[in-house]
Structure 1
């Protein structure tokens, strides 16, 4: 047995409470090395006749990545304390694995076992339950709809008559969003994620000038309140975007520093290396990336912290927003985010806190900072498999298994899944203008656990490369919209709402049956849904290793009964099927 590959930590990623009386334990072993894992567990104070009373439960094999097998078990200990270890077996060897070392058999000394001292209620990771059932729609306000031309900035270009440039303005505003809320409701959207609305000089508004004002070209505070009221009528949540890592160049405190140098009372609000301050040829202060127009804020400074926290409180308190999306969240200190969470949750315990982090995010997902991060590993793998065809089905499954077991189950249910955004090329462009591939990638997005987000216009076939190409004006002329993809998106959203197994109920797993087709399974105790996607231009026949017994089967896409012939399912080239078993 390759004991060097066995890995477990008694932390919130591999041993944690999922409910008041339920624990989830995970372990990983070398791929194809261990055939059985049993959990030995018990309360450290439960003894009889000088012998520790321990219990045994088999763990479930959950999947593999390129290097490891993953095992998991749920237990419901009678008390709120736990000592535990693992019995690992293969054809050649059986060993015990505990906190300190490996043994030939389970030791009597409980000091050799992993320890969870107490399952404190406050340590259980929780996120707003409404998020688990939300389908988001990301709006880049400057490009969604021009509803009030009186707000147009100087040099505004008539809607969509040319390709966008980095400094283009087309006049999108809040009234334009209000005018199209019925469209979003008909699509099935239940949450809007707005990129920044606050006063700024750019079209993207990630260079904030005033954290307490709506940008004049979008409208005013009363218009935002009207928008939120209209959203609530339609059961649509609203999430705003905040940039607390850096300000804009024209942020008054930074302008004061540029003017007064070392004599400015704001000089410590930023990370300035020396004086006088210079912007060219290179800035002598920390910035977002190397952009002199975006000076990094010193969030450890008490005045900066208080200013930004009050901005977070203000919009949550006065406008009753439902969420904050936090830009460049990984570059802000953890202490700030802990206080941020405490402050906004006082106002609204159900407010969703979403961080922009592109890498392993467990340091922010321990229950004291964010409810979720943007799930870019999901994005990358889905694009590589379906849009670009640069990885195999097996590699996709292995990659997604690793992502799935990177975070605890409660974290995964709130994960913000996306396939495109204002920072990435358009999905149709990524798919080489192949409409069916767009449908396939939308299928994966809208049948995966977590909370999915559609970038405005992807559902009607907008194209474009990286910024600024991905920030085209929304297409409102129905004759120019891809009505086929639009209706397909509506169908998927409707299925997700009506079939809990396509959202966050039950387990998710993969079948590696064919290199031509992706097969996902969503399953609860008495129901299952199979999602089958033929990625190739050839027919594929899949033999599904799943027993239906006397249960019924239905094709959710056609709503017709499906004949289950010993699990053999035929797929036409590029076909998508969803088979419900109940």
Structure 2
């Protein structure tokens, strides 16, 4: 008998905030070495700004006021790179971030506010500084650890960038030696790391390039071990495409939902998509109309079991893509429409740090810029207020967090959908056009429409039809409860 799919219930109500630790906030309580880049200068591929976990702790008030209840950190373990995907020691939080004690303090403070914390697990590859790989560099073919990696010949040419690596690496990069997960010792090492931090108190793992470990049994064991340590742990994979293989209930709870991000950029940003080669998993994006958008969204919602769809990690930007505002030519109306959509869709919405105040940035390292705490005159306060408001909207409506989804209109540049949870209903409508538009939307019997977000020029009910006239480039949410 097929087992039911089970995902962490809390994730259905989660609102994530993704933080790149070196760039969000730094605290004077964490002693740093010299040679840090100035906080307010453009980021560089190798430079460090000095952000740390105590800095995040000191800004929990900001996150709480924004409405965030879950933080997802890109890697925090000891590493010789600012992004920390070059892991040196999986059991030590990088001292530049404050070490293990800083994570302990942050977890305790966050959990006291009912804010959860999800870490980034980089388990496909390590770094040249990782002990067992460094042992091979020193000892060559005599090293007992040669089968921890995919070594081919000796000596390893780890620092000769003019030659192809003579060992297995990720993406052709000498700095990222690929683990041999067929080795039982390697497998147990990774499982033990995952369980250690689950027992330490983290609330889940975001898995970096998990498809590179092409072994269902590995991820099935990973799930069993992590869930045994914390049954409510959230396991989300970085997969940019359809991921049914990993989302049948025995491996991951969800994936980063780039399948939804692409049509959101193409529809809400249809008038202003920047002339970028979008990269990072994005093909060059072409504008789409509401009908094309509806088709793409419905296809994405039909991919997986509803239990999984409800906890997909939905996002507009990330550390691997240009920021949304840059993708749409800094069109703030497009950003608002997309953010309203993000906060009213099935799944767990994610705000990439700084998007809410209007940060822009192109390819790496541009999208990994420092959060300008000391230059609040440069914050887009209108966007910040809007993001706070749409987060409050989501939190106020169980239908918008957990309800079913049904497209009710997709014509030209107008789009609307309805979400239903028990006897609670909500409809969300969008007008992406430059002029006002009237939308005729079907109503269930006895529904009494009530505007709960946005503004409308006209709202009329006649014979179970709701006519909404929306201002240009705007959206609205309507409660349709029978007892409204």
- TM-score of the superposition, structure 2-length normalised? 0.91
Query: Could you say which residue in structure 1 is the equivalent of 2:245?
Result: 363
Moved more, 353-362 or 548-557: 548-557
- Structural mapping, 1:324-363, within 5 Å: 324-332=205-213, 333-363=215-245
1:148 aligns with 2:28: yes
Partners of 1:516 and 1:570 in 2: CA distance: 13
2:466 aligned to which of 567, 573, 582: 567
Query: Could you say which residue in structure 2 is the equivalent of 1:158?
Result: 38
> Where is the strand percentage greater, Structure 1 or Structure 2?
1
Q: How large is the RMSD of aligned CA atoms in angstroms?
A: 1.7
Cα deviation, 1:29-57, whole Å, max 9, x if unaligned, reads xxxxxxxxxxxxxxxxxxxxxxxxxxxxx
- Structural mapping, 1:108-507, within 5 Å: 118-119=1-2, 123-148=3-28, 151-160=31-40, 162-279=41-158, 280=160, 281-317=163-199, 319-332=200-213, 333-389=215-271, 390-476=287-373, 477-505=375-403, 507=404
Query: Could you say which residue in structure 1 is the equivalent of 2:278?
Result: none
For structure 1, the 5+ residue unaligned runs are: 1-117
Helix, strand or coil for the counterpart of 2:450?
strand
Moved more, 521-530 or 448-457: 521-530
Query: Could you say which residue in structure 2 is the equivalent of 1:579?
Result: 478
Partners of 1:488 and 1:538 in 2: CA distance: 21
1:548 deviates by 4.7
Helix, strand or coil for the counterpart of 2:364?
coil
1:150 deviates by 5.1
1:310 deviates by 1.1
Residues 522 and 489 of structure 1: CA distance in aligned 2, closer, same or farther (over 3 Å): same
Partners of 2:415 and 2:455 in 1: CA distance: 21
1:404 deviates by 1.1
Query: Could you say which residue in structure 2 is the equivalent of 1:535?
Result: 432
1:274 deviates by 2.7
Task: Tell me the matched-pair count.
Answer: 458
Helix, strand or coil for the counterpart of 2:103?
helix
Helix, strand or coil for the counterpart of 2:236?
strand
Query: Could you say which residue in structure 1 is the equivalent of 2:453?
Result: 557
Helix, strand or coil for the counterpart of 1:432?
coil
Q: Which has the larger radius of gyration?
A: 1
> Where is the helix percentage greater, Structure 1 or Structure 2?
2
Helix, strand or coil for the counterpart of 1:217?
helix
1:512 deviates by 3.6
